[in-house]
C-alpha cells in the first residue's frame, strides 16, 4: 500500500472536458485512441483508462507490460502496443493486446507465432515511417509485406498508421503535409491489394489541431487529454488534470548566518522560517527548482524553495506565511505552474509530468 503523503490528484472532470474538446474538432465517424502510456503521462494509466473506457475506441501504450496492467485491471477496450519487443510477443497474445509491427524482425516473428499457435485473424497494426525516422516500415517494404500476408488468415491488419514529426510547428507545414501525402500513397497500395480497408491514423494531439483534414479513421490523443495543446490559445481551452500536493512535515526557525540543506546552499541573512516538505527529486522534482528558482503554494501564497532540492524533501521559505505543520502544500495545480516548472527545469511539459515518481500516490477524482 502506498501511504506516501505526497499525492497526485487526477481530475476526472478535466479529463472528460479535454476529451470532449477534441471530439468537437472531429467528424462524427472519427474514432479516438487515448494514449495512456508512461503511467498516463505521469498520472495513472489504469485509473485513467478505467475512467475513459466507455468514451474511446482504443487505448495505446508504449510497451507490453503497460497493456498487461490494463488487462489485469479489467480493461476490455482494444489496446495498441506501439513498441513491442520480440521477447514480449507471446505475452501480447496471451493478454489480447494488439502489436504495432514496424520492421521485418518483429513482423516475421509475429507471423511465425501466429502460424504456430495457430491464430485466426489476430489484429496487428502496421507502422510506416514517413519522415520521423524513429520506427516504421518504409514504403518500399510494401510489396514484401503484402507477399507475406497474402493468402494467410492468421493475422488481420487492423490499422495502418504513421506519426508526424513536427505537427505542432507550422513552420514545418510543408514537411508535415508531405508526410500526410506519403501516408496516403502507402494506404492506396494496401487498398488495392489487401482486399479490405484497415483503420487509418496519423494525427496526434497537435495534428488534430493543425491538420483536421487528415483525420482519416482515427486520431491519437495524448498530451491533449492531460490539459496541453500545441500553443497557449489551445491550452487555454483545456483543463489541467494533474494536481500534485503534499504537506508541511516540520517548521524551523533559522537564525541569521544559519544554513539550510545540502552544501549549505542557503545562508540566512536574517531570521527566517522554513518548512520542510516530503517531496524531492526522487518524486520527480528537478534539482533546477532549488535555490529560489521554484516555488510552492501554501495557503494560496508563494513559498520559494530554499537550498538544494533533496532526494526526498524540499525546504521552502514561509517567513511571511501563516502556516503550521500538517498544512497542505501545492506543488502544482494548473497548466501555468506546470509550464513554469518545465521552463525553469529547461525541459518540456511531457517530461515534467512523466517524471512524477511511481512512489507518489495517484488518486483519480471524478
Q: Above 90 in pLDDT, residue 3?
A: no
Q: Which residues of 79-113 are buried (b: 16+ CB within 10 A; e: fewer)?
A: bbbbbbeeebbebbbebebbbbbbeeebbebbbeb
Mean pLDDT of 241-260: 97
Distance CA 333, CA 311 (A): 22
pLDDT tens figures, 166-185: 999 999 999 999 999 999 99
Per the listing, cell 489496446 goes with 79
Give residue 4's pLDDT: 83
Instruction: Note the Cα 196 to chain centre separation in Å.
Output: 32
262 a catalytic residue: yes
From residue 173, give the alpha-carbon distance in Å to each of 133, 168, 182: 17, 9, 14
- Of 54, 15, 43, nearest to 284 (Cα)? 43
- Cβ contacts of 64 within 8 Å, gap of 6 or more: 81, 84, 85, 88, 91, 92, 95, 97
Q: Above 80 in pLDDT, residue 334?
A: yes
Distance CA 131, CA 134 (A): 8
Give residue 256's pLDDT: 97
Give the active site residue among 21, 23, 63, 262. Answer: 262
Mean pLDDT of 343-360: 97
Distance CA 99, CA 361 (A): 30
Give residue 274's pLDDT: 98
Q: Which residues of 301-320 are buried (b: 16+ CB within 10 A; e: fewer)?
A: eebbbbbbbbeebbbbbbee
Domains, in order of start, for the chain: 12-236 (3.20.20.10), 242-365 (2.40.37.10)
Instruction: Note the Cα 175 to chain centre separation in Å.
Output: 25
Q: Above 90 in pLDDT, residue 325?
A: yes
Q: What is the pTM of this model?
A: 0.95
336 a catalytic residue: no
Q: Above 70 in pLDDT, residue 1?
A: no
pLDDT tens figures, 339-349: 999 999 999 99
pLDDT tens figures, 102-158: 999 999 999 999 999 999 999 999 999 999 999 999 999 999 999 999 889 999 999
Do residues 243 and 11 make contact, with C-beta atoms less than 8 angstroms apart?
yes
Q: Above 70 in pLDDT, residue 306?
A: yes
Give residue 2's pLDDT: 63
pLDDT tens figures, 217-231: 999 999 999 999 988
3-state secondary structure string across the chain:
CCCCCCEEEEEHHHHHHHHHHHHCCCCCCCEEEEECHHHHHHCCHHHHHHHHCCCCCEEEECCHHHHHHHHHCCCCCCEEECCCCHHHHHHHHHCCCEEEECCHHHHHHHHHHHHHCCCCCEEEEEEECCCCCCCCECHHHHHHHHHHHCCCCCEEEEEEECCCCCCCCHHHHHHHHHHHHHHHHHHHHHHHHCCCCCEEECCCHHHHHHCHHHCCCEEEECHHHHCCCCCHHHHHCCCCCEEEEEECCEEEEECCCCEECHHHCEECCCCEEEEEECCCHHHCCCHHHCCCCCEEEECCEEEEEECCCCCCCEEEECCCCCCCCCCEEEEECCHHHHHHHHHHCCCCHHHHHHCCCCCCEEEEEC
Proportion of the chain above pLDDT 90, given as a percent: 98
Angle made by CA atoms 128, 206, 209, in degrees to the nearest 5? 115
Q: Which three three-digit cell numbers place residue 156?
A: 488481420
Give the active site residue among 37, 127, 239, 362. Answer: 37
Amino acid at each position: 500500500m502506498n501511504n506516501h503523503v505526497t499525492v497526485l490528484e487526477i481530475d476526472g472532470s478535466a479529463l472528460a472536458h479535454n476529451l470532449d474538446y477534441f471530439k468537437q474538432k472531429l467528424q462524427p465517424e472519427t474514432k479516438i485512441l487515448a494514449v495512456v502510456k508512461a503511467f498516463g503521462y505521469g498520472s495513472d494509466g489504469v485509473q485513467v483508462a478505467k475512467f475513459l473506457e466507455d468514451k474511446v475506441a482504443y487505448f495505446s501504450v508504449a510497451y507490453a507490460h503497460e497493456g498487461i496492467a490494463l488487462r489485469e485491471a479489467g480493461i476490455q477496450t482494444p489496446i495498441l502496443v506501439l513498441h513491442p519487443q520480440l521477447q514480449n510477443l507471446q505475452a501480447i497474445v496471451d493478454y489480447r493486446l494488439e502489436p504495432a509491427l514496424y520492421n521485418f524482425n518483429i513482423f516475421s516473428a509475429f507471423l511465425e507465432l501466429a502460424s504456430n499457435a495457430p491464430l485466426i485473424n489476430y489484429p496487428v497494426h502496421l507502422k510506416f515511417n514517413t519522415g520521423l525516422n524513429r520506427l516504421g516500415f518504409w514504403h518500399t517494404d510494401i510489396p514484401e509485406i503484402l507477399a507475406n500476408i497474402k493468402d494467410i488468415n492468421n493475422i488481420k491488419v487492423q490499422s495502418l498508421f504513421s506519426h508526424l514529426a513536427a505537427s505542432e510547428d507550422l513552420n514545418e507545414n510543408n514537411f508535415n503535409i508531405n508526410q500526410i501525402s506519403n501516408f496516403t500513397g502507402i494506404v492506396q497500395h494496401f487498398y488495392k491489394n489487401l482486399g479490405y480497408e484497415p483503420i487509418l491514423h496519423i494525427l496526434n494531439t497537435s495534428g488534430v489541431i493543425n491538420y483536421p483534414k487528415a483525420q482519416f479513421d482515427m486520431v491519437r490523443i495524448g498530451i491533449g487529454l492531460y490539459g496541453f495543446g500545441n500553443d497557449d490559445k489551445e491550452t487555454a481551452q483545456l483543463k489541467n488534470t494533474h494536481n500534485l500536493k503534499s504537506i508541511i512535515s516540520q517548521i524551523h526557525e533559522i537564525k541569521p548566518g544559519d544554513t539550510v540543506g545540502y552544501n549549505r546552499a542557503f545562508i540566512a541573512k536574517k531570521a527566517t522560517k522554513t518548512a520542510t516538505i516530503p517531496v524531492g527529486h526522487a518524486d520527480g522534482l528537478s534539482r533546477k527548482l532549488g535555490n529560489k528558482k521554484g516555488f510552492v503554494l501554501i495557503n494560496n501564497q508563494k513559498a520559494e524553495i530554499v537550498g538544494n532540492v533533496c532526494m526526498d524533501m524540499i525546504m521552502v521559505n514561509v517567513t511571511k506565511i501563516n502556516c503550521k505543520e500538517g498544512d497542505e502544500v501545492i506543488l502544482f495545480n494548473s497548466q501555468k505552474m506546470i509550464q513554469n516548472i518545465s521552463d525553469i527545469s529547461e525541459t518540456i511539459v511531457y517530461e515534467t509530468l512523466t517524471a512524477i515518481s511511481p512512489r507518489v500516490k495517484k488518486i483519480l477524482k471524478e
